[in-house]
Amino acid sequence: METKFEEFVVERGEGNFMTCIPLTRIQRICILFILLIASANLIILMHQNTQNTTFFYSNNYVQEDLLHKDDEHRAPKVIDVAEEPLVIQFLSGLEGYQKPEVVGDSYGTHQVSSGENLYWIAESYDTTTEKLKQLNSLSSDIISSGQSLLVPLHTLRTYPRGVSITDKELQWLAQMIHAEARGEPYLGQVAVGSVILNRLESSQFPNTMYGVLFQRNAFQPIRNGQFFRPANDQAYSAAIEALHGNDPTMGSLFFFNPSISNDRFMHARPAVVTIGEHRFMY
């Protein structure tokens, strides 16, 4: 008896034959359904890969495309690099950020503190050692503590807390927050930034951002190199919030993780507040 099929598939190799596989109508529908599911999964996977934060830098423009946890995806924003430093461009894209006014567009003086060198002073004011040497008629990179240097103030800004720092120092503040407190709750990151600013304003510590951050044995990320990694957007947000006067540590000057540190000095100090894994003290 001869059996007829509507459709069948034959797989053929060179020099040999394979068995014919008949396809009924139901089998064809099942195969089509499987292909549709596979296509849908591929589309979902491709969509998820586009949700990462991306930055595109060119010589003249920055394209910023950020995804906030609580906000809908925003259209890319194109900013002229010639108008603002990259740090301020980045912060301008954050919701609620208000750019502080520049203190001046001329020059001011910087008194050299112990441990500072010409390179880091130049970095602080977004300039170069050669320009500082020209401004101050220096024949070498050698400077001494207490010496006054003429410095450019084109990126020095005053924030609501009353602190005046340059855009580069803001970047350093965010980098230290990221290095010390990434993985901590957001309030804990603001708290770390506040401790740094509290030290900057305290007579017990150096009066420059560089001096506070690079004070000997003050911050482990300086020693292990974690400080020099780029900060993420949350660290910048925490830095800005601390500069706007939000201090959840109530003026604390120290913090540490009591679960991993055996420092007797830290354990002996009375706690002001504990946020996440960090304990904050006066």
Task: Give, in words, the CATH class of 154-281.
Answer: mainly alpha
> Which of 164, 172, 158, 182 minimizes the C-alpha distance to 239?
172
pLDDT value for 191: 96
pLDDT value for 95: 53
pLDDT value for 9: 47
**Tens-level pLDDT at each residue, the chain (282 residues):** 444 444 444 444 444 444 445 667 777 777 777 777 777 666 665 544 433 333 222 222 222 332 233 333 323 223 233 334 445 455 555 555 555 544 445 788 899 988 889 998 999 888 999 999 999 999 999 999 999 999 988 888 989 999 999 999 999 999 999 999 999 999 999 999 999 999 999 999 998 999 999 998 899 999 999 999 999 999 999 999 999 999 999 999 999 898 888 888 888 888 899 999 999 999
pLDDT value for 107: 85
For residue 171, how many other CB atoms are within 10 A of its CB?
Answer: 23
HEC sequence for the chain: CCCCCCEEECCEECCEECCCEEECHHHHHHHHHHHHHHHHHHHHHHHHHCCCCEEEECCCEEEEECCCCCCCCCCCEEEECCCCCHHHHHHHCCCCCCCCCECCCCEEEEECCCCCCHHHHHHHCCCCHHHHHHHCCCCCCCCCCCCEEEEECCCEEECCCCCEEEHHHHHHHHHHHHHHHCCCCHHHHHHHHHHHHHHHHCCCCCCCHHHHHCCCCCCHHHHHCHHHCCCCHHHHHHHHHHHCCCCCCCCCCEEECCCCCCCHHHHHCCEEEEECCEEEEC
pLDDT value for 114: 83
pLDDT value for 73: 31
Q: Where are the domains of the chain?
A: 7-49, 54-83, 107-152, 154-281
Structure tokens at 163: 């602190």
pLDDT value for 42: 65
Q: Which CATH superfamily is domain 107-152 in?
A: LysM domain (3.10.350.10)
> Which of 124, 166, 116 minimizes the C-alpha distance to 141?
116
The pTM of the whole model exceeds 0.75: no
